[in-house]
Amino acid sequence: MNYSEALEWLYSTQFFGIKLGLENPKRLLREYLAYPPRRTKVIHVAGTNGKGSTCAFIESVARATGTRTGLFSSPHLVRYNERIRVSGVEIDDDEIASHLTALRELVAEWESHPTFFELSLALALKYFSERGCELVILETGMGGRLDATTAVPADVAVLTPISLDHQQWLGETIAEIAAEKAAIIVPRKKVFSSPQLSPARTIIEQVANERRSPLEFVENPLQGYALGLAGEHQRENAALALEALHALGIPLNYETVKSGLGSTAWPGRFEHIKPSPGIMASHLILDIAHNPASAKALATNWVREFGDCKANLIFGAVEAKDVRGILEILLPITAQLNFVPVNSPRALPPEELAALLPPDSPPARTCQSLQSALETQETLPALVTGSAFLVGEVKALLEGSSHHSSAQ
């Protein structure tokens, strides 16, 4: 298969949906010889918010020390290749085609077909091994206990802030969700956690104690360094990243930490986009905030950056998200709203989003396309948020490339 054919086959596996469990990924990693070599260190990151940013800090600082890194993250925003990087460089098209061709042949007769995410993990880990990665950073897809990434034994577990999200899969309470995510803790291996809500903290302490895993809550945000990612909450993520690296014995000094943190980039996190044709706003900010906790961090960043100047909000979302809760947090920084469709099978129509607005909200309109919202003449800065799919569409539009969304 060539690259296009390989991705078409991979996306066709989304028909199998999300299947939480470890039996399939363990078999896949074993038969594809994709488990990391013993000499390779693994950091496993789970949580509700800040997973991607924390992984990005870990990878960037480790790379600054000269460590050869492999980063597996999800979802991608524009191109599938974004999910798999070695020393900061995305996997190329030919490698993807070659690995997916081999994986298709391997699983052709399997009664329980691997999912999109499981196949992606196997591809990534085999590629990391072939490239001689010394450190692998794995971002959990969803949850932890039954997430495919948990099939890989980790040397250090990292837990970012836990809040309500994916309740249909992970549970209705903070404690239930925390139990799913804390399950990435490996017996007798170190675990580092961000400050947590009380129910989550209790669960994490219980799981770490049961598994005799040394636990540290990283309570103090990192100070004294310029960060490549905007927002005070990123200082908590950066502090967490440094503790995880230190625990592995990776040599850190002021210059490498400064370089790594300062050069960290992660798209869709309060990302400033330069004005361009088709964008009529004075400023354009992209942020994938898709739950109330991340919306709160976004609103705080907005006020810090723009003060009393409010946003022309361009908003889209998918099913099973607390849209009302997100909007209530963003309305105080909003001058007007534009509800747009999202390129996802789970997208909520703009009309349904508008119906969730509370009384006395700023002026709102529904748009038939993202393009029409972006082309509206406005002197206000524009804020695109509500879904990673939506942010990916904007970036694809600006890059002039096609956008292939993934629910996994």
Taking residues 289-317, report their average pLDDT.
Answer: 95
d(C-alpha 363, C-alpha 342), whole Å: 21
As a whole number of angstroms, the distance between CA 391 and CA 385 comes to 7
What pLDDT sits at residue 335?
Answer: 96
The answer to whether the predicted template modeling score (pTM) of the entire model surpasses 0.85 is: yes
Superfamily of domain 271-399: Mur ligase, C-terminal domain (3.90.190.20)
Asked if pLDDT for residue 307 goes beyond 60, the answer is yes
d(CA 94, CA 383): 36
More confident residue, 291 or 403: 291
- Quote the tokens at residue 41: 């260190």
Half-sphere exposure of residue 214, counting CA atoms within 13 Å on the CB side?
7
With contact defined as beta carbons under 8 Å apart, do 140 and 46 qualify? yes
Q: What integer pLDDT is reported at residue 375 of this predicted model? A: 84
Q: What is the pLDDT of residues 213-224, one digit of tens each?
A: 999 999 999 999
In the block, which residue shows the tokens 């499981």?
A: 118
What is the average pLDDT across 252-279? 90
In single-letter form, the type of residue at position 64 comes to: A
Q: 121: Cβ–Cβ under 8 A, 6 or more apart, which residues?
A: 25, 28, 29, 34, 72, 138, 148, 149, 151, 152
Sheet with strand 84-86: strands edge to edge? 89-90, 84-86, 69-72, 135-139, 41-46, 156-159, 190-193, 215-217
Select the more confidently predicted residue: 144 or 382: 382
Per-residue model confidence (pLDDT) at position 405: 54
Name the β-bridge partners of 158: 45, 192
Q: Which CATH superfamily is domain 3-262 in?
A: Mur-like, catalytic domain (3.40.1190.10)
pLDDT tens, residue by residue, 71-109: 999 999 999 999 999 999 999 999 999 999 999 999 999
CA distance 264 to 361: 37
Q: Are 259 and 227 in contact (CB under 8 A)?
A: no
Average pLDDT over residues 112-133: 96
- pLDDT (tens digit per residue) in 329-385: 999 999 999 999 998 888 999 999 999 999 999 999 999 999 999 887 678 899 999
How far is Cα of residue 47 from the mean position of the Cα atoms in its chain? 10
Helix, strand, coil distribution of the chain in percent, nearest 5: 40, 15, 45
pLDDT, greater one: 345 or 210: 210
The residues, any chain, with a CB within 8 Å of residue 384's CB and separated by 6 or more, are: 284, 285, 286, 287, 314, 315, 390, 391, 394
Q: How confident is the model at residue 168 (pLDDT cuts 50, 70, 90)?
A: low
pLDDT, mean of residues 19-36: 92
Higher model confidence: residue 151 or residue 276? 151
| 356: number of Cβ within 10 Å | 17
What is the rounded CA–CA span in Å between residue 309 and residue 351? 27
Span 173-199, average pLDDT:
96
**pLDDT band for position 17 (50/70/90)?**
low
C-alpha 160/C-alpha 291 separation (Å) is: 15
Maximal CA-CA distance, the chain:
60
Domain extent listing, the chain = 3-262, 271-399
Q: Which of 124-133, 150-159, 167-176, 248-257 has the weakest average pLDDT?
A: 167-176
DSSP 3-state of 354:
helix
DSSP line for 269-284: SSEEE---TT--SS-E
pLDDT at 406: 52
R_g of the chain computed on alpha carbons: 21
| Average pLDDT of the residues in 129-153 | 94
Please, which residues have CB within 8 angstroms of residue 109's CB and are 6 or more apart in sequence?
none
